[in-house]
Structure 1
Amino acid sequence: MFNPTGTVLLTGGTIGLGYGCALKLAQQCPQYQVLIASRSNKDNAAVSINEITGHSNVEYLKLDLSSLAKVRSFAADYAKKGYPPIKALVLNAGLQILDLGYTEDKIESTFAINHVGHALLFYLMRPFFAEEARVVIVASGTHDPAQKSGLPDAIYSSAEELAQPTRETEKYQGRQRYATSKLCNVMWTYALQRRLEKAPGKKWTVNAFNPGLMPGTGLTRDYSAIVQFISNHILPRTIWLLRLLISPNVHLPEDSGASLARLAVGDDLKGVSGKYYEGQNPIPSSKDSEVVEKQEDLWEWTVKRIAKDESERREFESV
């Protein structure tokens, strides 16, 4: 009978980077319950991983990050299931949406899924954290104009403008909104770290992670069939060439997944917090990501927008 000693909760673990991370976690930590939380389970990722490892420690849970109500419903259901304390919360799910759209909460879709839904999930999962727990947030090198990723530069004026684009900013490309959402991931990491430093008795850490360019992850699912075919079937066979022509930070999803798993459970990173990792190593993030005023604008807007009342707002703000 499987009696797990801890839980790792991973969003978006059914394909690509998340699947690679979940597989590595299941292999390295058979004593942990590994929960894959995703909107879709068409690939039966948990079943696949359990078959590969010969363990039974991976389970799928349905989670729709585009809806604040559904995130709350997920947390309510989670509370009834009696999982062991969360050792690591890996906020990995993300979408690159080409066309401007809004969620049922009237928040721009890319910002809602890549940041807002994850932030609410963190706040609601805190009661289930172990005494020592890690939060890992999957960001991207696209947040940093200095890395010349090929995407439009991330632009952060305010969280409100990202949630409700103005007549001018609604003209931005979907790829630009994606890059900016990844900037938000890094800024929110730093804002959370400041609060954890001041939180008495909490041995929690938070780090951001740049997995690099990963052909074949499914991130291009909103693109044309031709672009998806090239990304999923051609580019993964030319990693060596992409590293030569574009950047050394090009990896297969399973390789970046292993680096992400290390941040979540690796013994060598115990106590490390407030860092931005590229693969295996901490590096400086973008200049914009380090602007405290922007970090605080994002934090304060997020808490105010997702808290259901004043009591919950104070609770979320205190970490």
Structure 2
Amino acid sequence: MRTRVRTFLPRRWPSSAEFFGGVCVDLGAEEAIAQARTFAPDLIIVESADYLGRFAAAVLDVPVVTHGVGIAIEEQLAHAMDAAAGARLSSLELTLPEPRASVDPWPECLQRDTWQPPVGRIAIRSEAHESEPHASEAHEGEDGSEGSKPAFPGPGRQHLPRVLVTLGTVLDEPELLATIVDSLAGPEVNVVVAVNPSARADTAPTERTGVRVVGFVPMRRLLEGVDVVVASGGAGTVLAVLGSGIPMVLLPMGLDKPLNAERASAVGAAMVVDSPDQIGKAVTKVLSDESFAHSASTVAQEIADMNSAETVLTLLLDHVS
């Protein structure tokens, strides 16, 4: 019940590097530099694959710091991207600036086995999103009041394990969600289904005994009282869930998700499946095998030990002063 990881193959590195380090720079450098001149920054912080920011930093001669989003880019691809962007800068008789630091939200245990921390790495603690509930986001809690933990009325239901199903805020796949919920009909669980914020009400999975459907609710509140999370492996979801010490069942769906799922599985905090109809059995396995929850707790402790955003700001100021 594992999926193969589809990462950049060597033959794809040149085209990927040319896109991030070349085409994006060709199309956006002029406007990026103009905006940067207007803003007049003392420091530019850019996503690791964003070369527009590093290009502007070179032209304005200000320090640059990179900020990771996903698992670190493979070294050979990163070098190829640097070369593509550097070739553009060479025409201006400039060189690609080396980042003063690298802010990284991923704990070391979830990086590739071959990963080495870059010079100047600053680990930043990832935290599940939390905000004040909007009236349209609220739902009835266990005690009958509006809250973040849906009630499951019925004899003995309140004592059943709780499973959260979410495909994140990008994917809108109502049929897939319905198939996942059907797969969970076998295990004795309560299911909370978080639908895409843009989803139409008539396409959402149907509520029934043991199944509650919610709209957009901040992740921190969604995770309250949850025993297992079923998801597609997006970076934000994986970090938020494991940061809360909750094991996962993952059905990866493109982009970086297979890699995120493989790494969560490698540390024992997730089970990876190939199709939605396998999810019910996988959830039963994760609930019955305490090693998954133990591994998720271990990852959560590593994430908790990472720097807060406030500490990272102080460290960054030290790097650029």
Per the TM superposition, whether the score is higher than 0.5 is no
TM-score, normalization: structure 1?
0.36
Q: Which has the higher helix share?
A: 1
